[in-house]
Structure 1
């Protein structure tokens, strides 16, 4: 009997890199350097439980690429965390940052545990101990390695991390920049919470706006009327669904780990989220059909499928059954390399994770810049802009003899808030990256947006090494 080969996210990412490299002229030594992880830190630490018992937890922090510093990547709390998964996610961060032109190397971290089994006091002890382990080995710092939230963590954990880091580094004026995704009270940034989901929306919007590409798929341009299924209804999945629905799309299916909802008439995203928060799931929701085996929703009919949960969801086993015309990878690594090839052969457009979920790291970059400058975006110019617009409106009123209403004045005079500026920067980044990636796909005469994305990323990473004279 042939032993089943265990899935490896890192090997999958390296496979995507090798495929892109076939269309390039890269020095073999440089390609090997780009693919490998620069630093791997695995450690074990004890946790004393409230009843006096002890257990040992395993933590990881992996820095994939030092071609730019600091490195950047989230911290996840999950019982599925292992070295290969963290390596793969760290590698994806490298290529993601390069693709969207964010000046970070890639990293990732995690603790192998089920966060739902621990109370807030235990989670705080775990997070602070994890942070102190990183500090000991200089695996965290605003100029070295800047973590962020990921699966199983959020703003609360980031607040514990920055507080611990500041306690160890009281003299460091830029200490707040050691981590992003913090609460606003800890110098976080407006718009970070919804950034990844908004980036997913913008990326899909740009994809469906290209007429020749949609014609090839047999779809009309624009989001209006498109049927969409979302897998995963956490922060990313919820905000993706919310913005896509507001743009005119119809959310017909939502899948979670403990069941899903199917409703061809369309799902009220906010109502479903409120029900999920209150009832810890979708079972009993008054509208639509409850789907016990929620993974089956991946193969239900729709125009766009958005896997926004975990990696390894669309594999060679179910790829040929996918009925969507577009798969938008909101999660990291939800489509395996084998499955990606099957989807391409079947004429399905795959918008790759390395691009589509880059909204989080883009706004994290803005938060990091804010922490280094110690000035909120818009703080210096907002009042100046408001006064300038007020004078302009007064001039128009005097010239025309007409008066603006109070509501019109409020809407036209108000200067850009921090959130306005952050969302503007996010949109500019996502729009430019998509069209660069799509242009590369067409220039190289290849089918895969993913391969095109890796080509762009590899070109930019290679320049960093060659400009240093390390490789010819």
Structure 2
């Protein structure tokens, strides 16, 4: 285990960047600029907790301003440190570039354990953090737009929004200062499941590529594939759900207290309810317990989805991983050493920086909704329904045949907000997957899909810089 203390997450991101930069023709100066974090804001502020005053440590990093606003989540965890926030901010830049979301990357974090505070205390901390961001112009619909991340959710985003609104009265686009809000506060339907659904769309597209599947010795399509999911948080839960609904078999789920496995497949909602009731996923009816949760990563399966924290697969355990496809639903679950192992074993690693971009893609849709001040589907839903009804009536009249009620409802249905959000996300993930694969096929000396994804990202960010004329 020695040597793991020195691991730098930002260093690993830089390493992946350098590996990919060799396959591009940009000026070394431009590459250096893209690599650096443009603005780093580290703060300490006092908050009264009970009858004591606690000094809270927090961060906001804006990695790139090649497009504004900057965008990135806010994490509440004891592990939050500058290195992690910088790395996640950099990944956000590349992620947005790959999926064509016009934002620069940012990330924020507060070094606390949210479980140790009451909701009222968390609210005080969140609002004070927002004040600090406002003071330095590190938040706003056109400058920097936070979102939920590990340890935060809709509730915290509502507090951030309210604080921002009270400090900026009359700002017409103020709702766009943060995303991942409750729907009643200007949030968008489909945001909660967006990351997990995006992971599913991305892996499904890879599984539909004949040549890739042939290389891996797998059948084309998602159906019947065995899947292991690590983490039953928001992302893991929804990934498991969509894989199961898509016809794959989720044969194991792991959490920090241990893992469970069942070769006939698990239902994530039943496991979730069992954990809620008993406080653990272990002893789930019909499943076998695995005491050491990291052993689940080494189970025999076709698709492995690490959806928890960074660094879970490294040089030590990578040789024992049996999956043919690894879908990085979490940020940075593999170390660069693990990448080397998988490349030599011919395992396909579908990289985090685009695979978990569902969250930021739907956040972008939410931001657009806030700027346009109208709900998706409000204008066209009835129009589409009436049009579909007319077409259907014409066809029924011409053919003398009737369509049954269930199919009639399906054909006539006009898009709701959530339908449009899912459709936009599906389009985003499919085209990003194809773009990365195309670059990779054009240049077979690129060692893996992560490097190909970085090449796509670097090209797009560098092009932005060049077109802005930032470099004489």
Q: How many angstroms does 1:58 deviate by? A: 0.5
Aligned counterpart, 2:255: 256
Aligned counterpart, 1:356: 355
Q: How many angstroms does 1:168 deviate by? A: 0.4
Distance in structure 2 (CA, Å) of the matches to 1:253 and 1:193: 23
Partner SS, residue 197 of structure 1: helix
Distance in structure 1 (CA, Å) of the matches to 2:9 and 2:272: 30
Matches within 5 A, 1:183-332: 183-332=182-331
Distance in structure 2 (CA, Å) of the matches to 1:397 and 1:210: 38
Partner SS, residue 46 of structure 1: strand
Confirm or deny: 8 A CA contact 1:27 1:471 kept in the other structure: no
Q: Which moved more, 1:214-223 or 1:361-370?
A: 214-223
Distance in structure 1 (CA, Å) of the matches to 2:183 and 2:260: 34
Aligned counterpart, 2:92: 93
Residue 341, structure 1, aligned to residue 340, structure 2: yes
Q: How many angstroms does 1:119 deviate by? A: 1.3
Aligned counterpart, 1:365: 364
Distance in structure 2 (CA, Å) of the matches to 1:375 and 1:314: 44
Aligned counterpart, 2:421: 422
Per the normalisation by structure 1, the TM-score is: 0.97
Q: How many angstroms does 1:112 deviate by? A: 0.4
Aligned counterpart, 1:456: 456
Distance in structure 1 (CA, Å) of the matches to 2:241 and 2:214: 26
Aligned counterpart, 2:72: 73
Matches within 5 A, 1:75-224: 75-224=74-223
List alignment gaps of at least 5 residues for structure 2.
none
Confirm or deny: 8 A CA contact 1:97 1:104 kept in the other structure: yes
Distance in structure 1 (CA, Å) of the matches to 2:190 and 2:3: 47
Distance in structure 1 (CA, Å) of the matches to 2:338 and 2:230: 17
Q: How many angstroms does 1:345 deviate by? A: 0.8
Distance in structure 1 (CA, Å) of the matches to 2:381 and 2:16: 45
Q: How many angstroms does 1:343 deviate by? A: 1.0
Partner SS, residue 34 of structure 1: helix
Q: How many angstroms does 1:76 deviate by? A: 0.5
The aligned length equals: 470
Partner SS, residue 56 of structure 2: strand
Distance in structure 2 (CA, Å) of the matches to 1:307 and 1:145: 29
Distance in structure 2 (CA, Å) of the matches to 1:100 and 1:230: 24
Distance in structure 2 (CA, Å) of the matches to 1:96 and 1:3: 29
Q: How many angstroms does 1:292 deviate by? A: 2.1
Distance in structure 2 (CA, Å) of the matches to 1:161 and 1:5: 34
Q: Which moved more, 1:288-297 or 1:70-79?
A: 288-297
Partner SS, residue 54 of structure 2: strand
The C-alpha deviation readout for 1:394-418, integer Å capped at 9, x for no partner, is: 2223223333343333222221111
Q: How many angstroms does 1:5 deviate by? A: 5.5
Partner SS, residue 468 of structure 2: coil
Distance in structure 2 (CA, Å) of the matches to 1:375 and 1:198: 24
Partner SS, residue 379 of structure 2: coil
Distance in structure 2 (CA, Å) of the matches to 1:284 and 1:119: 30
Distance in structure 1 (CA, Å) of the matches to 2:4 and 2:419: 50
Q: Which moved more, 1:409-418 or 1:451-460?
A: 409-418
Distance in structure 2 (CA, Å) of the matches to 1:4 and 1:179: 35
Partner SS, residue 23 of structure 1: coil
Aligned counterpart, 1:16: 16
